[in-house]
Chains A and B, each alone.
Chain A
Amino acid sequence: MHSKRADNHTWRTIKSGLASTVAFISALLVIAPLGLVFFHLLVNGASSVNWDFFTKLPTPVGTPGGGMVNAIVGSLELLAFASIIGIPIGVLGGVYLGEYGSARVNSVLRFIADVLNGVPSITWGVVVYGLVVLRFKGFSAYAGGLALGLIMIPLITRTTEEVVLLVPNGYREAALALGVSRWKTIVHIVIKTASRGIITGILLALARVGGETAPLLFTAFGNRFWNHSLSQPIAALPLQIFTYAISPYDDWHRQAWAGALVLVTGIFCVNVLVRILTRGRTASIV
């Protein structure tokens, strides 16, 4: 009888050990792609990330050297424009869903936003192509920024709504009980309390669209030179990487690796910033 219990115990220990080993290996498999990506980017791109990369324009086809300064600046311009469209509409939409509306209307709106979040980004590019590029007969920074902005709207709406809903009702009641009007309560108390979470949502949306390539293909289109007018095509980092990667030139390939490394590092840094902002509030972004 004693040995049977001992056998059971040994068997259970083995099973337990197997389970933890399998879990550990799975965790490694999850982390592995990130490690692989970074490794490859570093190996292939680090050597080409130099001062020229950040300061020089692309050289003519076939000529080695040059950089991607116009693409980096272009990406930042597009993000700025997208923010002007995406942030106000997204935040206000999120506030509406969190504060106003009826249960039925809100669930419909939420569903639509979730669907839009899942729409492939190239679709947005096609839509803006039809609405803007064809109408105004040309690719432009406006079109690119609009496409990115439209992607940002449902993203920011949903994250804003979630943090607004997380604001405890007690604060709203306390403000209203002081005789403060409803809209002032929302602006000065609710949004202020949720501001950290709202900013987090905005940063995550920026990180997401900063790396989008497909919607820019038929809107911003790309530019080998500086963009001088927003109604002209404009370069963007992901676009430039795409163009260089499918080209037959080694030098451009190397620059594409460098561009990819810079892009991933940028997104990585934004995520770290988000982590820092949300630290010290015990897993709450409010």
Chain B
Amino acid sequence: MATPDPTVVERVERAAEPAPTPEPAPASTFQVKNLSVWYGDKRAIDDVTLDVASDAVTAIIGPSGCGKSTFLRCLNRMHELVPKTRVEGTVFLQGEDLYSSDVDPAIVRRRVGMVFQKSNPFPTMSIGENVVIGLRLNGVRSQKFLNERLEKSLRMAALWDEVKDDLHKAGTSLSGGQQQRLCIARALAVEPEVLLMDEPCSALDPIATAKIEELIYELKAHYTIVTVTHNMQQAGRISDYTAFFYLGRLIEFGPTTKIFTNPNERQTEDYITGRFG
């Protein structure tokens, strides 16, 4: 009888070992506890608790009006731009309470950047000016520093090669997809810890969308990203975790593969398979 192949033996022996202890849960950037938000008398977010994992992409899905944009905006206190908002519960960023009375919302927004659905480069400024405007208006004067940040941000947004010779041209002279990447570069220039994205690709064609998805995939190595999307396939493609909202409540939250292959809640399953309504 031939001697058994050592690698096979090794494999069989390893299979007989007990399973290794599971890795500890990943660090979380945001800890949201019992968050509720009212616009006047209307309750937009109802008692939401979840932790947003660091250096990963969390997608927020749900039908229209379910509160996903409101929730996103709570993470950088942008919902306060609407008058008569009231917040209960806490949002902690790396252990700091974002809503405590001695916290300046502007500081929060410097740490938590945002990219919007419709790209909005400032119309009176060139590409270069657009990228560094956040730094300039926050007091940075050194031209050398600004130039370094300009190149770094445009490289991170995968836009440097396309615009490096045209930095003086108007920001609005770019295509839709490029404008959105410009907005991403602008948000990254102030070096936030988190990047929030509110349906960043819904106004873009498929190729521009694919480029931005690729960019998100690269960015998540360095940033915590939270994105609202109504495109289920996109959520499945780019995110590590998915949160499903309905009528202001968090119905289910978990790893994306679980949510999209075998969700716990019937409502989640009905929504993602298109049985809703």
Contacts and interface: CB of A to CB of B under 8 A. Distances in A.
Q: Are A and B co-members of a single complex? A: yes
A282 to B, nearest CB: 13
A178 interface: yes
A178 B122 contact: no
Interface string B103-138: 000111111011010101011100000000110011
Interface string B228-260: 000000000000000000000000000000000
Given A179-B106, A180-B106, A193-B122, A174 B138 contact: no
B226 interface: no
Chain B at the A interface: mostly helix, strand, loop or mixed?
helix
B109 A170 contact: no
A168 B172 CA distance: 14
Contacts of B137: 175, 178, 180, 184, 188
A46 B137 CA distance: 54
Interface in A168-182: 168, 170-181
B122 A173 contact: no
A224 interface: no
Given A181-B106, A184-B137, A188-B137, A176 B78 contact: yes
Contacts of B190: 178-179
A171 B113 contact: no
A174 B120 contact: yes
B149 to A, nearest CB: 13
B81 A173 contact: yes
Given A170-B120, A174-B183, A179 B78 contact: no
B76 interface: yes
A110 interface: no
Interface residues of A, number: 19
A168 B120 contact: yes
Contacts of A172: 81
A197 to B, nearest CB: 12
B107 A179 contact: yes
Interface in A188-205: 188-189, 192-193, 195
Contacts of A195: 124
B116 A174 contact: yes
A192 B129 CA distance: 13
A176 B109 contact: yes
A177 B106 contact: no
B203 to A, nearest CB: 11
Contacts of A170: 116, 118, 120
Nearest to B114: A177
A243 to B, nearest CB: 46
Contacts of A184: 137
Contacts of A171: 120, 122-123
Nearest to A187: B137
Given A173-B78, A188-B137, A178 B120 contact: no
A179 B110 contact: yes
A177 B122 contact: no
Given A171-B120, A174-B120, A184-B137, A179 B109 contact: yes
B85 to A, nearest CB: 15
Contacts of A179: 106-111, 134, 138, 190
B186 interface: yes
Contact of A177 (B76, B118, B124): B76
A211 to B, nearest CB: 32
Given A170-B116, A170-B118, A188-B137, A177 B109 contact: yes
A178 B110 contact: yes
11 contacts: A168-B120, A171-B120, A173-B116, A176-B106, A177-B109, A177-B116, A179-B134, A179-B138, A184-B137, A192-B122, A195-B124
Interface of B: 76, 78, 81, 106-111, 113-114, 116, 118, 120, 122-124, 133-134, 137-138, 183, 186-187, 190
By Cβ-Cβ distance, the 9 closest A-B pairs, closest first, are A179-B110, A178-B134, A177-B114, A170-B120, A179-B109, A180-B137, A174-B120, A179-B106, A192-B124
Given A171-B122, A179-B106, 10 more contacts: A170-B116, A173-B114, A174-B122, A176-B78, A177-B109, A178-B109, A178-B110, A179-B109, A181-B106, A193-B123
